[in-house]
Structure 1
Amino acid sequence: MKKVLIKILCVSLISYSFFKIDKVKSIVPYYYFPTIKNLQKESLSIGKSAYQLLFFGQYKDSLNLAKLAVKINAKDEKIWLILSEAQVANKLYKDALNSLNKAQKINSNISEIYFAKSNIYLQISQQINAKNALEKGLSIEPNNHKAIFQLGNIFLMEKNYLEAIKLFDKSVKIKPDFWQAINNQGLAYFEKNNIDLAKIFFEKAIAIEDNAEPLLGLASCLKINNIQLAIKLAKKALDKDPKYVNYDFRKEQLWGDKLQTSTEILLQNEQLKKDVILAKSKINASS
């Protein structure tokens, strides 16, 4: 009886022991440890979400998400590029340049890094650095028509009109319907006092895109020889985009001194008085 009792007791203890183990196992939490590959995939997904928020104008939220993506994975240059764009949108230009420098350290053979740097340098009025960055980017991607156009714009700002025209022409050869480059050839030729060629390029730009800028540029070209057509074009331009009534806005669009003077004289025409007043009121209403 004693042996039986001992056996029963042993079995009970063993059973209890197994039961306790199972019970303990049942309350131990399960932890998922993601692999490096999964973390990298997740960081890129977060980065893409940050870029989407940027597209919809949610700049602060985009910045926070981009920072999170970089914290998860600081070894992906694409995420640093997204972060830099979010920083630019929030006017954190120094931070954006730092992010681009980090992207460059990871992979120095990406043209977008240098093109992005050039845009920031232009924002902070560092034209020489902007030019150098563009030239570096173009050494990697020589047929980027937008970068060629931007380099042409820098030469336009420097009043090196001949070089600017060459670059705009090169950009158009790559993308024939790039009306902005065609328009800016008109801006450059006007400053070189070649009004006839300026007129031709403004007309070419309008044939592709009936935009306010070439319309008003063409109007300025025609104000001496065909004032009625010039007035008609100016009215149309101001109706399409009232901001072109503003001298400072036109300057931001790289209009030179000669074209500015010609346009100011045109806009003082009595037949444009109501249109100028209306355009200015629209600007004030939207500000």
Structure 2
Amino acid sequence: MPKRSSLLSLLLVAGLWVVAQPAAQGQALVPYVLQLDSEQLEQQGLGLAQEAAQLAQFQQYELALARAQLASQLLPENADVWALLGSLYLQLGEVDPGIQSLLRARRLDANNSGVLFALGSAYFQKENYNLAIQYIMSGLRLRPDVPGALFDLGNAYYMLEQFDDAIDQYRKAVDIDAEFWPAINNIGLVLYEQGDMAGALQKWEAAAAIDETQAEPQLAIAVLLYAQGETEAALEKGEAALLLDSRYADLEYLRINLWGDRLLEDAEAFLSQPQIREALARISPPQDNTMPQ
């Protein structure tokens, strides 16, 4: 669907375009008559927004975006619709239009904490960590008990190498939700960069114990063990982690997940081991692009 639907498209969808009968020969042109029902338009917009939200729950983001775009034109003064549109743009990696939609939502509703948190996430993606911190903190002043927002704030501090502030926010998130393993995991990331290997190991083991299906803390443990010379245990742990999620064998993917320079260097050495390369080949065998005979 085009990024911006015309008024004609909107009216066709709403069933509100009334076509006048052709003018008789020699008669002045009779203009089209628009019969707009604001209540019906509002209901159409709300219905589209609801469909978009439902599609987003099933990660059908492109279909959801098309409906949210149309809803935003039918309901241009509805902050929730603009917030939904902005969040969908972010899900699809379209950060700039996402920010514009979220800023419009904020102008319509300055006290929507969700919009402020989303703006913080958007500016984090643009690597503007100071502005991300400002928006997230503004949201937390309205709603101080959101673990995900505290986690995002910790990540922004971490990227600015304000390690103590990062750990403080992660701990606040865990105080609210003791099962919030990403915050525990990221405390381990910070501690590793600070050279506290024992502390990092303890956090990663705690994160892995909360959710055994998560590859990241298990791979981090494997990398740490390998760096400490415990090769056999490291390789066993690493194979198991990559079997859960082989994306963690990609150093760029690790960087996106905030693995720091020290941990990335050790991860590169670990992932280059023949046993790990062989395990990855078994997990993700190369595709045969030859044509069938």
Amino acid across the alignment from 1:251: R
Structure 1 position 103, deviation (Å): 1.4
Measure the CA separation in 2 of the matches of 1:273 and 1:102. Answer: 49
Match of 2:256? 252
Deviations 1:218-238 (A, max 9, x none): 112222253221111011111
Preserved CA contact (<8 Å) 1:267 1:276: no
Superposition TM-score, scaled by structure 1 size: 0.80
Q: CA RMSD in A?
A: 2.3
In the alignment, structure 1 residue 236 sits paired with structure 2 residue 240 = yes
Three-state SS of the structure 2 residue aligned to 1:193 is: coil
Deviations 1:82-121 (A, max 9, x none): 2212333454433222222221122111101111111221
Q: Is the 1:118–1:134 Cα contact (8 Å) retained in structure 2? A: yes
- 1:135 pairs with 134, 137, 143, which one? 137
Cα deviations across residues 182-231 of structure 1 (Å, max 9, x unaligned)? Answer: 11111111111000010000100010112211011111222225322111
Q: Could you tell me whether the CA contact under 8 Å between 1:168 and 1:184 is conserved in 2?
A: yes
Equivalent residues in 2 for 1:218-233 (5 A)?
A: 218-223=221-226, 224-233=228-237
* Corresponding residue to 2:183 among 181, 185, 189: 181
Give unmatched runs, 5+ long, in structure 2: 1-33, 288-293
Q: For 1:101, which of 100, 103, 112 is the aligned residue?
A: 103
Q: Secondary structure at 2:117's aligned position in 1?
A: helix
2:268 corresponds, among 264, 267, 274, to 264
Q: Secondary structure at the match of 1:266?
A: helix
Query: How high is the sequence identity, in percent, across the aligned residues?
Result: 29
How many Å apart are 1:55 and its aligned residue? 3.7
Whole-angstrom distance in 1 between the partners of 2:194 and 2:254: 18
The verdict on how the C-alpha distance between 1:89 and 1:254 changes in structure 2, with shifts beyond 3 A counting, is closer
* Letter in structure 2 aligned against 1:95: P
Residues in 1 aligned to 2:75 and 2:218: alpha-carbon distance in whole angstroms: 49
Residue 206 (structure 2) aligns with: 204
Whether contact under 8 Å (2:179, 2:210) holds in the other structure is: yes
Residue 132 and residue 46 in structure 1: after superposition, are their counterparts in 2 closer, same or farther (change >3 A)? same
Gaps of 5+ in 1: 1-30
Q: Per-residue displacement from partner, 1:41-70 (whole Å, max 9, x unpaired)?
A: 442222111222334454444333222222
Distance 1:58 1:204, change over 3 A: closer
Partner residue of 2:77?
75
More helix by share: 1
SS of equivalent to 1:108: coil
Q: Which secondary structure state, in structure 2, belongs to the residue aligned with residue 80 of structure 1? A: helix
Mark the structure with the bigger radius of gyration: 1
By how many angstroms is 1:181 displaced?
Answer: 0.6
Give TM-score, length-normalised by structure 2.
Answer: 0.78
The aligned counterpart of 2:10 is: none
Paired with 1:157 and 1:108, the residues of 2 have a C-alpha distance of 27
Q: 1:88 to 1:265 in 2, by over 3 A?
A: closer
In 1, Cα distance between the equivalents of 2:189 and 2:267? 12
Match of 1:158 in 2: 160
Secondary structure in 1 matching 2:219 = helix
Change in Cα spacing, 1:90 to 1:204, as seen in structure 2 (3 Å) is closer
Structure-2 separation of matches of 1:169 and 1:234: 27
